[in-house]
Chains A and B, each alone.
Chain A
């Protein structure tokens, strides 16, 4: 069936994000060889040229690199992957904050709410133990 895409954004940016996510989560480990463009295109059920474009773009961020005859590999630079992970985390937080502010919560209220949620979680944990 392929990967799931949002309707309102270019497909290649979404491919790029999903591959990036796989690298950050270790689905594709540092130094691992990526499947070929065709294999990836088939898996995602997308046009091979679009997949090619996404990979070329990822290459520009150095997260992956091409070895002339052997194919494409995930970087072995752990710091680079960590930075990327951190950047994605910050984006998630920003999205979350935006959604909460739309609900009318202030920054302080959000933090307090999260604290509360955390404590509740811990209490439930204790009851279970």
Chain B
């Protein structure tokens, strides 16, 4: 089957003469997986994610989603949680949901309201009145309420409390369709390790490791979190 995401010799530079943000990356992500995108700050995680969502353009190498170059067609099947919020803060949660429903054919309104209820978020509240963590929860709910084939989540749990973190991870393992893939970047490895199938370690824009979590534990006799701390020791 066609990988849901594939990088072929993908490179990206922001500035000539500077070290490239991504350097000859080759990756194949299969369907039905939950994949952690890990790496220290500046390793290229967000660059890769932005390329996959068409926020940056590919000049060198290829990035394919479901076998196609990034474009309107691929955006239809990718649900993306950016690292920064882009929502209109003047709208209420309910209005934002209506907006998403108009915008995305695959948006499941009932699922969104169900998640809002579980997290005790008032649909009538204006976004600007919500705390930072609650805004992040709303944003994640919007992203996870789509029936996408690929979810790309840039730091989905960084800003929320541990209880909400558990709820979010639970949503990720139960709510997504079996053929969909979730690619999530995070620094909180220990928190997500048990829900991941596999991890990708990025270092200086290169893939340092791409392996199943249990294979890493088996081979190294340590957790992915411990291995990360060792590999990227400062």
Contacts and interface: CB of A to CB of B under 8 A. Distances in A.
A60 B193 CA distance: 26
B174 A11 contact: no
Interface residues of B, number: 24
A115 interface: no
Contacts of A49: 32-33, 197
Interface residues of A, number: 21
B50 to A, nearest CB: 26
Contacts of A44: 194
B219 to A, nearest CB: 10
Contact of A48 (B173, B213, B215, B223): B173
Nearest to B218: A10
Contact of A7 (B174, B178, B195, B226): B226
Interface centre among A9, A41, A49 (most CB of B within 10 A): A49
Interface of A: 1-2, 5, 7-13, 38, 41-42, 44-50, 53
Given A10-B218, A11-B213, A38-B174, A45 B223 contact: no
Contacts of B61: none
B222 interface: yes
B214 A50 contact: yes
A46 B191 CA distance: 11
Interface string B208-232: 0000011101100111011000000
B32 A2 contact: no
Contact of A42 (B32, B170, B193, B223): B170
8 contacts: A1-B166, A9-B217, A10-B217, A11-B193, A45-B173, A49-B32, A50-B213, A53-B214
Interface of B: 32-34, 166, 169-170, 173-174, 178, 193-197, 213-215, 217-218, 221-223, 225-226
A48 B221 CA distance: 22
Given A7-B225, A8-B223, A45 B197 contact: no
A50 B221 CA distance: 18
Nearest to B226: A7
Nearest to A15: B194
A53 B215 CA distance: 13
A11 B194 contact: yes
A46 B32 CA distance: 14
Contact of A46 (B194, B217, B218): B194
A11 B217 contact: yes
Given A7-B226, A45-B166, A50 B197 contact: yes
B218 A47 contact: no
Nearest to A41: B173
B218 A7 contact: no
Contacts of A50: 194, 197, 213-214
Interface centre among B169, B173, B223 (most CB of A within 10 A): B173
Contacts of B194: 2, 5, 11, 44-47, 50
Nearest to B34: A47
B222 A8 contact: yes
Contacts of B218: 9-10
